[in-house]
Amino acid sequence: MNTSLPGIDYPELTSRAVCRPGVPVVRVVDDDRAYCIALHRLLRAQGFEVRSYSSVAEVLLEGLDAPGCFVLDMALPDATGLELQQVLSRWPEPPPVIFLSGQSDVLSVATAMKLGAVDFFSKPVEGVVLVDSVRNALLRDQTRRDERKSLRDLRTRYDALSERERAVLTLAVEGNLNRDIALTLNIAERTVKAHRAHLLEKMQARTVLDLVRMTDRLRGSAQPL
């Protein structure tokens, strides 16, 4: 089998090193040792942190301790690439997956893409094409992590609101004026103004429009209001 990846030159493979905290890792999973080494060398030469595995069991045994993506062979000795993708999709921070396959069928490709695969390539893949796909996958992973962190922070700020502040927030984002909120909650209008000021500060919002956007995000999350 020709294991070369045309388009990019790369140096000799070095041993796997302990990855730096917070640095994204490209995880290559392929039981063809020669091809796995070629992929590892290619990606290391482009400056990526790389870890290599020959089976699904190795991946699951090590776990996921860093951001990044997977370059995943479809046919593995102990499970299919699709089965591993399904497991990864249930992890707290699901990593993007790029599939490589020596023999692919339409159903496998469709299933992989439906589960969120970034790309699906037939072997051998052009080096420059794979590197571009990895860069895209890492950018997607970072974007998703940033979005999830932002949503967690937003949820934390909302949870810090008092029960009355949440009631005022709900009525305010529905377009109610202070006097209407006061009548609905049977409190003084000045009290409503005080609650609005406090909740704006706690939610780190400047306007009611900001609050509308924030509550829409929370309502659309896995843990809606």
Nearest to 46 by CA among 66, 28, 58, 64: 28
The pLDDT assigned to 101 comes to 87
Q: Are 218 and 203 in contact (CB under 8 A)?
A: no
pLDDT category of residue 19 using cuts at 50, 70 and 90: low
pLDDT category of residue 63 using cuts at 50, 70 and 90: confident
CA distance 11 to 67: 25
Residue 14 pLDDT exceeds 80: no
The pLDDT assigned to 11 comes to 38
Residue 18 pLDDT exceeds 60: no
CA distance 31 to 28: 10
Q: Name the residue ranges covered by the structural domains of the chain.
A: 25-148, 160-219
State which H helix or E strand residue 49 sits in. strand 49-53
Distance of CA 82 to the CA centre of its chain: 18
The pLDDT assigned to 105 comes to 72
pLDDT category of residue 4 using cuts at 50, 70 and 90: very low
Residue 3 pLDDT exceeds 70: no
Percent of all residues in the chain with a pLDDT value above 90, rounded to a whole number: 64
The pLDDT assigned to 190 comes to 96
Selected from 3.90.1150.10, 3.30.360.10, 3.40.50.2300, 1.20.1250.20, the CATH number assigned to the domain covering 25-148 reads 3.40.50.2300
Q: Are 137 and 67 in contact (CB under 8 A)?
A: no
Query: What are the tens digits of pLDDT across the range 128-185?
Result: 999 999 999 999 999 999 999 999 999 999 999 999 999 999 999 999 999 999 999 9
79-85: average pLDDT = 89
Kindly report the average pLDDT of the chain as a whole number: 87
The residues near 101 (Cβ < 8 Å, ≥ 6 apart) are 73, 74, 75, 81, 108, 120, 121, 122, 123
Which CATH number is 160-219 given?
1.10.10.10
Query: What are the tens digits of pLDDT across the range 84-124?
Result: 999 988 888 889 999 998 776 788 888 888 888 999 998 88
For residues 186 and 107, the model is more confident at: 186
